Chain A
Amino acid sequence: MEENNKQRKRKLFGSGFLILLTSVAVVFAVAWYTASAARALFLAHEDIKPIIAGGDLDELPALLRGNEPSVTTSLVRGTSRREKPPRMCEMSEDYFDAIDRGLDQPSGYTKRNEYVRKYRARRGFLNEREMRAARVAWKYFELFTQETTGLANSVGNYPSTTLWDTASYLAAIVAAYEICIIEKPELDRRITQLLTTVKSLDLFRGEMPNKVYHTKSGAKVDYTNKPGEIGFSALDIGRFLVWMRIIKNRYPHHGNTIDSVLLKWDFSNTVSEEGLLFGAFVDDETGETVYAQEGRLGYEEYAAKGFALWGFRPIMAHRAEPFLTASIYDVPVPYDGRDPRIFHSQNYVVTESYLQDGLELGFDLPHDDSSPDWLNSDGWRAEFADRIYEVQERRWRQSGFMTARSEHNVKGPPYFTYDTVFSDGYPWNTVTPRGDYVPDHAAVAAKAALGLWALWETEYTDVLYEAIIELYDPEVGMYEGLYERGQGRVEIFTANNNGIILTSLLHKVQGTILTPFEGDTEVWYTAFRDQDLRVVRKYPDPPQEEDWLPAVRHSLHQEVRR
């Protein structure tokens, strides 16, 4: 009995010991498994490639994004950047023998929607007559630049200006320097004084530059040059941005000043999310700021490219749509399709905006820093410009009227006219801003004539050249134009006219005025990275390939017979 009890106890002990051993083993197994799993879990990323700052896997914090390079065609395609041409007085005698004019290239679109025009621009040294015209045109700015501010008057001795006309003054400074009318000390003095003033300008409601400023005091004024504010113009700002980019790329030592000017401005209401440009004006009744889409076919795209040169993405403003065409002398002339009766904005077709695109930007897209002058990466702009040229030449051939139409000032009321190829449903319509038809003010605009001469090397532009190249007062500047109906010269002198004439002459020497940016980073892109100011004011990051404005081509849309 007792033996049986001992045996039972021994068995019980053995079983318990066995259970204990098993339990310990299980615990160890679980612990090992858990530890292994945890190890596997926590140490898994060790197998992933390490992130390199600025590499593909590095999601850059905003603090660092400003250091990225702006992506251009030369970076993406590995092509060489265009080179800044030398000043005319520094060019070798055979300089123009070596330039590629693409004379053997057939006209038309490429697969990338670039466009080769039917015509070529004039290239070469300025002859004596052209130099004289250039010096006379520069005379205007010698006479009408205010010592106190460095701003140049828009029209003669009337002391007011806009950013548009200030850009024309900058164009004149660049041209005068590059064709060796002035030297670098004067170039730097004028640019520095002007930009210092522009930086100190009192902005419209702390946002963007007012439409008009008094050139003597630098005070913001209304259209009657009295202290006040009007609003701001996206088109004027767009043109100013084009010239800021041209000067920054050509003369990098002015880059910091330029960046500091632009970093005072608040772009939050100027470029919309959809990529449209907005100007502003003051509501008469409420005094509130009203933002309104600004720009019509021609000017809108030119201004959009000015914004894009600084990293903005005004993709809708750069599109031609909605547009229609009017058949004039069998040329489908494109005009803005937005109905003036609904949108309360006229759709003037004039030469100027196409000229500026061609002369300053080479009908290229803002990211293109490598295509030759004869290949226009913003293809449809070049093609439309050809149509604007052709219809004017055909008018001359079929009616005898020399034609180079643009907006221009006139002496006396109404002071300003839109001398159009087409507007309000009428071809060759000359209208005042308030809409009066004033055919007596139709004129060969000097700036349009010499712009056409520079970009279209044809027999017709030779005629325009003869009409305009000596149309000057040697003591004041180039006249605004020549009246079509025989009333003589348009006896008024403006910054815009003289600036564009100088630009046209410079284009003959150097080709496309905009040269590639040759630096790495820009203060414009790196400033205020430690604040929310960039977000508030919508300062852009350096544009990447996906930010590029698209290159498109257009088939003919609705056509209106005339």
Chain B
Amino acid sequence: MMRSLMLSTAITLCLGQYVSAQTQDETLRNAEAFAPENAIVDTSIPFAIGAREARQELRGAFGWPTFQEGLVEGVYFRFDPDGYARFAPSPRLDTDVFEVICRPGTLNCQGRKGLLSIYLNGNGALQLDIAEVGDGDTMFLIEGASELQLPKRILGPLDERMELLLGSGGELLIKRGELKVARISLAGFSAVAAYLRWITARQDYGVLPRGWAVPNSSAPQGDPIAVNWQVSPAGQQNQPIFERQEKPANNPIASPATQQGSNEVLLNINELRDLLSASNDEAQPKSRLEIQPQSTVVREQSFADSDQTQISALQDTARALLEAAETLQKDTVRTDENMAFQNHQSGESPKRLANQLDYLMTEFGLDAKTALALIEREHDSELLQDNEAKLRIAPSSGNIEPSGDIVLDILAELRGQPSGPNLREESDDGFSRDEYQLLSDYFKSVFSGD
């Protein structure tokens, strides 16, 4: 009975995704004619600090007389009253452009860059589509020399951590076997995601990520960090991480039922664990490949790995569907009591997780991916040991992920076993070991305590 219920829920979700994709196609087809009633955005309300409304000279009879332009999250942007926007790293908005197009007259918008498109689904969750991706294709997040395999379920609704991961920058690599099918820059991903939410919420700052520099807010005005969703400017700064703002009551798309809460945190932690396992599993065959690139055995192994990856991806998809169904079911009967129970059961609190992430990113300058990995490792000692062993085996190949070094260093520091330069009594910077130890202690205390 339970199984059939879950199966039917999964099918419903799949159908929902299909319908949603169809709707997006229709959006693009219909977004052709200019109509003043398509104005959905007030360009005088700044999307971020420093943004300004500008007038444009029009030669023709119609068009939007104003637009807004600015710089946020390292990308320049301009958008029109109908929501049409462009985000790009250069002020000319000429290369590496994320384009957002909205279905005329609605808040249903879609961001796209090359093969990649993102949009908010019916539940208000960010969803990612990549055109021309086949069942056997694998996806990787590339940042510098590091390569992190992504589960297939990134093609479905994204949870916050996946969104966070993709928003941290880098490039999305799609491989078909060993063939690199496409490489898509993720520059502007987080800004576009924020923009889509902001539009959907009728320009409510409450849905913007915490740290997002918005006018007249108490948020920090430095580099905005899209780590987690900002709480309302109206004094809710202490809300837990990953908990989204209440959507405006007049929001026609997002539903309050999409508020994930602690259930989602638990789900996300499990997903992150899967993700990390997948990335570590990927590290070893990759090392072998590079040591013996010409070997037939290696090629066979790679095919086997590819099959394994596909199986793993299918399992991931199935798991994601089951989890989604489970979440949906749980949402319907969720009460404050069972939320508290689940929080207790997980041994984790969202607030603590938020503090840890925030601390690692702001104080240590870690990227989101590394910080998440670090947190996950700390919480799973067995996995940690396993990973350390693998990383120690591999150094001769020189193919350890750079982020692994950082993780190891920080973990070593956490255990009071400073490595490398930290072993010296006094560093080049003139800090004594005692001083450094104090900082480490502080870090450790923050990391391990509430």
* Pairwise interchain contact A413-B61, C-beta atoms closer than 8 A: no
A433 to B65, CA, bound (A): 10
**Chain A residues whose CB sits within 8 angstroms of the CB of B69 once the complex forms:** 434
**Chain B residues whose CB sits within 8 angstroms of the CB of A156 once the complex forms:** 33
A346 to B58, CA, bound (A): 11
Q: Is B293 an interface residue (CB 8 A)?
A: no
* Pairwise interchain contact A409-B60, C-beta atoms closer than 8 A: yes
Q: Is B78 an interface residue (CB 8 A)?
A: yes
Contact of A413 among B39, B58, B60, B101 (CB under 8 A): B101
A158 to B33, CA, bound (A): 9
A152 to B64, CA, bound (A): 21
* Pairwise interchain contact A436-B78, C-beta atoms closer than 8 A: yes
A110 to B161, CA, bound (A): 75
**Chain B residues whose CB sits within 8 angstroms of the CB of A301 once the complex forms:** none
* Most-contacted residue by chain A among B31, B62, B69, B94 (CB, 10 A): B62
Q: Is A14 an interface residue (CB 8 A)?
A: no
* Binary interface encoding of chain A residues 333-346 relative to chain B, with 1 for a CB under 8 A from any of its CBs, else 0: 00000000000011
* Pairwise interchain contact B56-A413, C-beta atoms closer than 8 A: no
* Pairwise interchain contact B56-A434, C-beta atoms closer than 8 A: yes
Which single residue of chain B is at the shortest CB-CB distance from A222?
B65
* Pairwise interchain contact B80-A413, C-beta atoms closer than 8 A: yes
A282 to chain B, nearest CB (A): 11
* Binary interface encoding of chain A residues 455-478 relative to chain B, with 1 for a CB under 8 A from any of its CBs, else 0: 000000000000000000000000
Q: Is B314 an interface residue (CB 8 A)?
A: no
Which single residue of chain A is at the shortest CB-CB distance from B83?
A413
**Chain A residues whose CB sits within 8 angstroms of the CB of B39 once the complex forms:** 224
Flag the segment in A120-128, A161-169, A268-276 that touches B. Answer: A161-169
Which single residue of chain B is at the shortest CB-CB distance from A408?
B60
Q: Is B243 an interface residue (CB 8 A)?
A: no
Q: Is A356 an interface residue (CB 8 A)?
A: no
A156 to B61, CA, bound (A): 12
Q: Is B63 an interface residue (CB 8 A)?
A: yes
Contact of B62 among A212, A435, A439 (CB under 8 A): A212
**Chain A residues whose CB sits within 8 angstroms of the CB of B62 once the complex forms:** 154-155, 158, 160, 212, 223-225, 415
**Chain B residues whose CB sits within 8 angstroms of the CB of A160 once the complex forms:** 61-62
**Chain B residues whose CB sits within 8 angstroms of the CB of A437 once the complex forms:** 92-94
Given A413-B31, A436-B78, answer yes or no on A212-B101 (Cβ-Cβ < 8 Å): no
A413 to B110, CA, bound (A): 13
Per the CB 8 Å criterion, the residue count for chain A at the interface is 33
* Binary interface encoding of chain B residues 51-91 relative to chain A, with 1 for a CB under 8 A from any of its CBs, else 0: 00011111111111101010000000010101010100000
Given A434-B67, A436-B93, A437-B92, answer yes or no on A164-B59 (Cβ-Cβ < 8 Å): yes
Within 8 A of A (CB), among B386-423: none
* Pairwise interchain contact B31-A223, C-beta atoms closer than 8 A: no
B352 to chain A, nearest CB (A): 44
B contact patch SS: loop
* Pairwise interchain contact B60-A154, C-beta atoms closer than 8 A: yes
B29 to chain A, nearest CB (A): 9
* Pairwise interchain contact B101-A416, C-beta atoms closer than 8 A: no
**Chain A residues whose CB sits within 8 angstroms of the CB of B65 once the complex forms:** 222-224, 230
* Most-contacted residue by chain B among A158, A346, A413, A437 (CB, 10 A): A413
Q: Is A407 an interface residue (CB 8 A)?
A: yes
Which single residue of chain A is at the shortest CB-CB distance from B81?
A224
**Chain B residues whose CB sits within 8 angstroms of the CB of A225 once the complex forms:** 36, 62
A226 to chain B, nearest CB (A): 6
Given A223-B58, A434-B56, A436-B78, answer yes or no on A416-B63 (Cβ-Cβ < 8 Å): yes
A225 to chain B, nearest CB (A): 6
A414 to B31, CA, bound (A): 10
* Binary interface encoding of chain B residues 26-45 relative to chain A, with 1 for a CB under 8 A from any of its CBs, else 0: 00000111101001000000
* Pairwise interchain contact B61-A154, C-beta atoms closer than 8 A: yes
Within 8 A of B (CB), among A171-228: 212, 222-226
Q: Is A411 an interface residue (CB 8 A)?
A: yes
Given A413-B31, A434-B54, answer yes or no on A224-B36 (Cβ-Cβ < 8 Å): yes
Q: Is A486 an interface residue (CB 8 A)?
A: no
Given A223-B65, A225-B36, answer yes or no on A433-B59 (Cβ-Cβ < 8 Å): yes
**Chain A residues whose CB sits within 8 angstroms of the CB of B78 once the complex forms:** 434-436
**Chain A residues whose CB sits within 8 angstroms of the CB of B31 once the complex forms:** 412-413
A236 to chain B, nearest CB (A): 9
**Chain B residues whose CB sits within 8 angstroms of the CB of A407 once the complex forms:** 59
Which single residue of chain A is at the shortest CB-CB distance from B69?
A434
Given A226-B36, A412-B31, answer yes or no on A433-B61 (Cβ-Cβ < 8 Å): no
A412 to B101, CA, bound (A): 10
A347 to B267, CA, bound (A): 56
Which single residue of chain B is at the shortest CB-CB distance from A492?
B32
**Chain A residues whose CB sits within 8 angstroms of the CB of B64 once the complex forms:** 223-224
**Chain A residues whose CB sits within 8 angstroms of the CB of B84 once the complex forms:** 413-414
**Chain A residues whose CB sits within 8 angstroms of the CB of B67 once the complex forms:** 434
Which single residue of chain A is at the shortest CB-CB distance from B59?
A407
B304 to chain A, nearest CB (A): 41
Which single residue of chain B is at the shortest CB-CB distance from A281?
B55
**Chain A residues whose CB sits within 8 angstroms of the CB of B59 once the complex forms:** 164, 407, 416, 433
A415 to B58, CA, bound (A): 11
B172 to chain A, nearest CB (A): 21
Which single residue of chain B is at the shortest CB-CB distance from A235?
B59
Which single residue of chain A is at the shortest CB-CB distance from B60?
A416
A527 to B414, CA, bound (A): 94
**Chain B residues whose CB sits within 8 angstroms of the CB of A346 once the complex forms:** 57
A140 to chain B, nearest CB (A): 15
B75 to chain A, nearest CB (A): 13
**Chain B residues whose CB sits within 8 angstroms of the CB of A414 once the complex forms:** 63, 80, 84
Which single residue of chain B is at the shortest CB-CB distance from A424?
B92
A254 to B193, CA, bound (A): 59
A439 to B94, CA, bound (A): 8
A177 to chain B, nearest CB (A): 25
Within 8 A of B (CB), among A409-463: 409, 411-416, 433-437, 439
Which single residue of chain B is at the shortest CB-CB distance from A407?
B59
Given A412-B32, A434-B78, answer yes or no on A212-B56 (Cβ-Cβ < 8 Å): no
Interchain Cβ contacts under 8 Å between A and B, 16 examples: A160-B61, A162-B60, A223-B61, A284-B55, A412-B31, A413-B82, A413-B84, A415-B34, A415-B60, A433-B56, A433-B58, A433-B59, A434-B56, A434-B78, A435-B92, A436-B86
Q: Besides A160-B62, A165-B60, A434-B56, 5 other CB < 8 A contacts? A: A284-B55, A414-B80, A435-B93, A436-B86, A437-B94
Give the 4 A-B CB pairs with smallest separation, nearest first: A224-B36, A437-B94, A154-B61, A413-B84
